[in-house]
């Protein structure tokens, strides 16, 4: 595995790497967990692979956790190497945002919903950095996790709208055995919060089960989800929504394939999760299909 820290070295390393299938990019902010590893393994399986590690200041609001965002590059490099990654790019900020950098990429509407409503400017920061990284690395494939469902929908929209020549692959959320979605921010949870946090996934799964059992009324499903979220000790729900899986428009009537989205806080720590209806209660879905 090669590590490069400048744009010049990146260009050189990419020239050596390039093969008939191009390269796959896993763009990250580091502090790897098994979710990142699953993206890396897929990238490695698909061909030459590049991981970028850059904690992007533009996607954090002024009151958010940019400074305390967890970082451990020595550990990250070891994990990337073990996953079989060919190249790691750890750019200095000036590579990503040179002094004359003046372009902001915004996917309108989609970026203002849900997380975007509570984190103004966040998705503009994400799409701007991802567009820049796609330009610098020119991957044929780019890998993202379903845990950041809205982010992946926005990136897909950007890639389609700008006719960018990259295939966006979104891989399933990796969870602890308890159901808790892996996130770099989980390290901030206290023991008590960690005990309570799996209930977030459980609330989604229980609501999905209710839908699969026949309840299709969106308002009733969301009211049940709200009750479940509000019962989680120490958790302050921020939003809960039922949306179309592609354009994320709120839905009044639930259908298989729609997405339930939730976000909230344990103390200062913000967690998000989601569930594609019909995908986590596999047993229930089979039952439904049989009836």
The distance of closest approach from Cβ of residue 127 to ligand PAF in the complex, given in angstroms and rounded to an integer, is 9
Question: Where are any strands of DSSP class E within 42-166?
Answer: 48-53, 87-89, 141-145
27 binds ligand PAF, rule: CB under 6 A: yes
**Options 28, 111, 186, 280; binder of ligand PAF; rule CB under 6 A:** 28
Question: Where are any strands of DSSP class E within the chain?
Answer: 2-4, 23-28, 48-53, 87-89, 141-145, 167-171, 235-243, 259-266, 269-276
Which two tokens mark 283? Answer: 């047993």
Q: Which is nearer to ligand PAF, 133 or 211 (CB)?
A: 133
Which two tokens mark 48? Answer: 């030459």
59 binds ligand PAF, rule: CB under 6 A: yes
The distance of closest approach from Cβ of residue 34 to ligand PAF in the complex, given in angstroms and rounded to an integer, is 14
Which two tokens mark 128? Answer: 């701007």
State the maximum Cα–Cα separation within the chain, in Å, rounded to a whole number: 62
Alpha carbon 40 to its chain centroid, in Å, reads 14
In 3D space, the residue among 273, 251, 249, 253 whose CA is nearest the CA of residue 261 turns out to be 273
Whole-number Å distance between alpha carbons of 27 and 167? 14
The distance of closest approach from Cβ of residue 65 to ligand PAF in the complex, given in angstroms and rounded to an integer, is 13
Q: Which is nearer to ligand PAF, 148 or 210 (CB)?
A: 148
Q: Select the span of 6-14, 23-31, 84-92, 239-247 touching ligand PAF (CB under 6 A).
A: 23-31
238 binds ligand PAF, rule: CB under 6 A: no
158 binds ligand PAF, rule: CB under 6 A: no
Whole-number Å distance between alpha carbons of 171 and 110? 20
Q: Which is nearer to ligand PAF, 28 or 207 (CB)?
A: 28
Q: Select the span of 24-32, 81-89, 172-180, 217-225 touching ligand PAF (CB under 6 A).
A: 24-32
Whole-number Å distance between alpha carbons of 188 and 286? 38
Which two tokens mark 165? Answer: 């020549």
Whole-number Å distance between alpha carbons of 220 and 223? 5
Calculate ∠ Cα 181-182-184, nearest 5°.
135
Per DSSP, the three-state class of 216 is coil
Number of residues that bind ligand PAF (CB under 6 A): 10
The distance of closest approach from Cβ of residue 157 to ligand PAF in the complex, given in angstroms and rounded to an integer, is 14
The distance of closest approach from Cβ of residue 40 to ligand PAF in the complex, given in angstroms and rounded to an integer, is 13
Q: Which is nearer to ligand PAF, 116 or 218 (CB)?
A: 116
Active site residue 36: yes
Write down the catalytic residue from 33, 36, 122, 201. 36
Q: Select the span of 22-30, 83-91, 157-165, 249-257 touching ligand PAF (CB under 6 A).
A: 22-30
CB 86 within 8 A of CB 17: yes
126 binds ligand PAF, rule: CB under 6 A: yes
Give residues with Cβ within 8 angstroms of 227, minimum separation 6.
Answer: none
Which two tokens mark 108? Answer: 């309108």
130 binds ligand PAF, rule: CB under 6 A: yes
The distance of closest approach from Cβ of residue 232 to ligand PAF in the complex, given in angstroms and rounded to an integer, is 24
**Options 4, 10, 14, 29; binder of ligand PAF; rule CB under 6 A:** 29
Residues that bind ligand PAF (CB under 6 A): 27-29, 56, 59, 126, 129-130, 148, 151
Catalytic site residues?
36
């Amino acid at each position: 595995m090669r590590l490069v820290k400048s744009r010049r070295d990146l260009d050189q390393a990419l020239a050596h790497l390039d093969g008939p299938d191009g390269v796959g990019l896993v763009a990250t902010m580091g502090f790897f967990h098994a979710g990142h590893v699953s993206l890396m393994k897929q990238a490695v399986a698909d061909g030459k692979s590049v991981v970028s590690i850059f904690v992007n200041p533009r996607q954090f609001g002024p009151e958010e956790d940019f400074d305390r965002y967890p970082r451990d590059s020595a550990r990250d490099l070891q994990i990337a190497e073990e996953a079989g990654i060919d190249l790691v790019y750890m750019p200095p900020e000036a590579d990503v945002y040179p002094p004359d950098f003046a372009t902001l990429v915004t996917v309108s509407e989609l970026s203002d919903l849900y997380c975007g409503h509570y984190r103004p400017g966040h998705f503009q920061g994400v799409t701007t950095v991802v567009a820049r990284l796609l330009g610098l690395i020119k991957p044929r494939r780019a890998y993202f996790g379903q845990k950041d469902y809205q982010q992946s929908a926005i990136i897909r929209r950007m890639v389609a709208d700008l006719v960018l020549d990259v295939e966006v692959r979104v891989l399933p959320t990796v969870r602890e055995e308890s159901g808790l979605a892996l996130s770099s921010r989980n390290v901030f949870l206290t023991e008590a919060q960690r005990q309570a946090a799996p209930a977030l996934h459980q609330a989604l799964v229980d609501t999905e089960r209710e839908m699969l059992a026949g309840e299709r009324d969106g308002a009733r499903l969301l009211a049940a989800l709200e009750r479940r979220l509000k019962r989680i000790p120490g958790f302050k729900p921020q939003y809960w929504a039922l949306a179309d899986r592609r354009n994320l428009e709120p839905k009044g009537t639930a259908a298989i394939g729609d997405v339930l989205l939730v976000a909230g806080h344990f103390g200062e720590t913000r967690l998000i999760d989601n569930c594609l209806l019909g995908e986590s209660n596999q047993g229930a879905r089979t039952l439904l299909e049989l009836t």
